Structure 1
Amino acid sequence: MTRTMPAAVITAPGQVEQRELPVPDPGPGQVRIRVHATGVCGTDLHLLHGHFGAQFPLVAGHEISGTVDAVGAGVLNVREGDPVTVDPNLYCGQCHACQRGLFQHCEHHEALGVTLPGGFATHTLCPATNVYPAHGLTLDQAAFAEPLGCVAWGMQRLRPRPGSTALVFGAGAIGLLLMQGLQASGCSRVTVVDPVEGRLALARTLGATHTLTPHAALREELLDLFPHGFDVTSEATGVPDVVQGLPALTAVGGSVLVFGVAPEGATVALSPYDLFQRDLTVLGSFALNQTVPLALEWLRAGRVNVDPLITHRLPLTGVEDALNMKARPGLQGAQKVLISPHAPQETA
């Protein structure tokens, strides 16, 4: 008899259904994971609405932690019972991008929870090459390895100088991970801007030097604090107007990091003369790229604290509610919402 498992399945744009699916069996080189928690991400919301090339039906969820439930032939790095997390991005290793080490830009890219079944189910399959032991961490903490891996890739792109000053717009879960990633990478003072005072209070708890809310004279207030501008300016908002304002707040020789996901058709106006005359660098940072190990080390060393970011834990039947929280960030004070497939009921 085929074993089945509950899963939250996106069946059409805007529609989530609870279904029973076959429990997958691992083939050679594959690991079956009993999912402990899956973080809800903005990507999941885009997929819900049919963006990012979504193909339905889809079991979304790519920020996954759990324990190894079964392994296929040839798996060497983990064994049954091990706590693990995953890098959801799968790549061919042969295309132009892969052969230059930019695996997240693979021309044949697949990803758990995006094009392949992900973590909004009690079990999921993953190639062993993408499974990382999470010893020394709680499984809740391990569920942050993927978004923190995205931050780690941004820091590898940015390479801030030790002692740099930094500015971050956005104090949602990813913004607070970005803030802590900047600190872990050598930035001495990080200023955070967000319209929600509760988020700013959390930013201060996690080490923000200054916190401000947006207002008409924000630029002047920031430059009063740092008259020469910031060595690093960054955003985790995806708001084009925020991106457009970053160069004016960046110090001579500084860097602008575009980290948030803006609408695909959005544009901003930048002065090429300003970039040239003040030796500014503008960087993008997309997804993660072999950076889960760095994320795990930050977590194990206590350089990044994710526990205060978890505000809600919902069962599989709460996936639609979790996506609604993501669509309205101020709803119920949500920061990071975890889906716990084996939880019998909602816990806050």
Structure 2
Amino acid sequence: MKAIVCEEPRVFKIINKEKPQLEKDKAIVNIKRIGVCGTDLHAFTGNQPFFEYPRVLGHELAGVIEAVGKNSYGLEQGDQVSVIPYMECGECIACKKGLTNCCTNMQVMGVHFDGGMAEQISVPCDHLIKTKELTLDQSAILEPLSIGAHAVRRSDLQKDDIALVIGAGPIGLGVMQAAKQKGAKVIAMDINEERLAFSEQWADVDVSINVLNEPVEQLMKITNGDMPSIVFDATGNSKSMMDAFQYPANGGKLVYVGLVKSDITFSDPLFHAKELTLLASRNATREDFDFVIQSIESGFIDAKSFITHRSKFDELPNEFESWLKPKNGVVKAMIEI
């Protein structure tokens, strides 16, 4: 079967790889859609933490079950599925508390082991979700939108909270959608005017702010001097993450959704004066996937306009580099097999 391997930064190669064999409690999935995420872009450019080359990328996946043995999940050959790509150990302190998304021995598909840029993969049955009522495109975007939903759930955002989401990429857009669905007033912040316009159109944010135009003053005006009660940083940019301490209200929360391969510092007097709560949000759980599925089925999420660029599997090595260029306006790229 064909697979696409990232041999080293900025080098993709189509290779022939042995087909996976059916194992107990696993299913063989024919991959049909592969969403391209920031993790893939960072890995391609050599900026992804916890990463080694060569690696088959891809963890935003949808496909059809080719083969599966006896299982307690109702999975059968021919079922359309989405993949939960975080492989937890089930034994550590986090897993025992149900926090499988931050397992101490976490292995993420396409990062710690080979992922889904291949014609077939083997997946544990308990990491597959049947998506009969969704399209393949909708099934493939469950994972990135679930990350946003998890961040919102972790923040304990309440109806009528004012939420600032910094970073209008796919993950930030997912945070915006989930926050809107929970009834919050949502402010989008970015440096890219096209991304901000997309946030207004796709996520229906209430206000958008360009971070280059005196953001503190704008936030003070929007919130009548109170500042946002919850701030989500989905940039994966160290400067943005450090600057974000300026934005929450006194007694507010700052949630880091993006990950950066760097140290983060902040002013302790500011942190204490505001009695801020600082949270990290990592990955997602099945509960978050279920929330996004319900959102799509209810018509709250428009998958069609979320996906802005496409490529056929064989064309990816030539297409991928262009998705890195801001002028091309990529929000979510999708690979079709």
TM-score by length of 1: 0.88
Correspondence list, 1:129-278, <5 A = 129-187=126-184, 189-206=185-202, 207-226=204-223, 227-262=225-260, 264-271=261-268, 273-278=269-274
Deviations 1:166-189 (A, max 9, x none): 1112112221111111112231x1
CA displacement at 1:112 relative to structure 2: 2.2
Residue pair 2:62, 2:83 contacting (<8 A) in 1 also: yes
Query: 2:2 matched to 1:6?
Result: yes
Residue pair 2:147, 2:171 contacting (<8 A) in 1 also: no
Give the aligned partner of residue 282 of structure 1: 278
Distance 1:145 1:72 in 2: 25
Change (3 A) 1:105 1:134: same
- Report the 3-state secondary structure (helix = DSSP H, G, I; strand = E; otherwise coil) of the residue aligned with 1:287: coil
CA displacement at 1:84 relative to structure 2: 0.8
- Report the 3-state secondary structure (helix = DSSP H, G, I; strand = E; otherwise coil) of the residue aligned with 1:275: helix
Deviations 1:81-116 (A, max 9, x none): 211101011122112322232223323322322233
Change (3 A) 1:228 1:76: closer
Give the aligned partner of residue 345 of structure 1: none
CA displacement at 1:265 relative to structure 2: 2.2
Distance 1:155 1:253 in 2: 17
- Report the 3-state secondary structure (helix = DSSP H, G, I; strand = E; otherwise coil) of the residue aligned with 1:168: strand
- Report the 3-state secondary structure (helix = DSSP H, G, I; strand = E; otherwise coil) of the residue aligned with 1:246: helix
Correspondence list, 1:116-127, <5 A = 116-127=113-124
Residue pair 2:73, 2:126 contacting (<8 A) in 1 also: no
Residue pair 1:28, 1:75 contacting (<8 A) in 2 also: no
Change (3 A) 1:29 1:175: same
Residue pair 2:238, 2:262 contacting (<8 A) in 1 also: no
Residue pair 1:31, 1:68 contacting (<8 A) in 2 also: yes
Give the aligned partner of residue 97 of structure 1: 94
- Report the 3-state secondary structure (helix = DSSP H, G, I; strand = E; otherwise coil) of the residue aligned with 1:230: coil
Change (3 A) 1:55 1:218: closer
Residue pair 1:177, 1:304 contacting (<8 A) in 2 also: no
Deviations 1:122-153 (A, max 9, x none): 22110000000112211101111111221122
Give the aligned partner of residue 110 of structure 1: 107
CA displacement at 1:30 relative to structure 2: 1.0
Residue pair 1:37, 1:143 contacting (<8 A) in 2 also: yes
- Report the 3-state secondary structure (helix = DSSP H, G, I; strand = E; otherwise coil) of the residue aligned with 1:38: strand
Residue pair 1:311, 1:337 contacting (<8 A) in 2 also: yes
CA displacement at 1:326 relative to structure 2: 5.0
Aligned length: 333
Change (3 A) 1:82 1:199: same
Distance 1:157 1:67 in 2: 32
Change (3 A) 1:240 1:10: closer
Distance 1:331 1:151 in 2: 25
Give the aligned partner of residue 321 of structure 2: 324
**Percentage of identical aligned residues:** 27
Change (3 A) 1:58 1:274: closer
Residue pair 2:35, 2:141 contacting (<8 A) in 1 also: yes
CA displacement at 1:27 relative to structure 2: 1.2
Which runs of 5 or more structure 1 residues have no equivalent in the other structure? 342-348
Give the aligned partner of residue 42 of structure 1: 38
Change (3 A) 1:91 1:179: same
Distance 1:213 1:57 in 2: 38
Counterpart of 2:124 in structure 1: which amino acid?
A: P
CA displacement at 1:39 relative to structure 2: 0.8
Q: CA RMSD in A?
A: 2.1
Distance 2:107 2:145 in 1: 20
Distance 2:196 2:53 in 1: 38
Counterpart of 1:127 in structure 2: which amino acid?
A: P
Distance 2:121 2:320 in 1: 20
Deviations 1:247-294 (A, max 9, x none): 3322222211111222x22322233x4333333211111112333222
Distance 2:47 2:158 in 1: 40
307, 321, 332: which one aligns with 1:336: 332
CA displacement at 1:23 relative to structure 2: 2.2
Give the aligned partner of residue 346 of structure 1: none
Distance 2:174 2:94 in 1: 27
Distance 2:318 2:289 in 1: 28
Residue pair 1:30, 1:75 contacting (<8 A) in 2 also: no
Q: Tell me whether 331-340 or 318-327 shows the greater mean CA deviation.
A: 318-327
Residue pair 2:25, 2:124 contacting (<8 A) in 1 also: yes
Change (3 A) 1:122 1:286: same
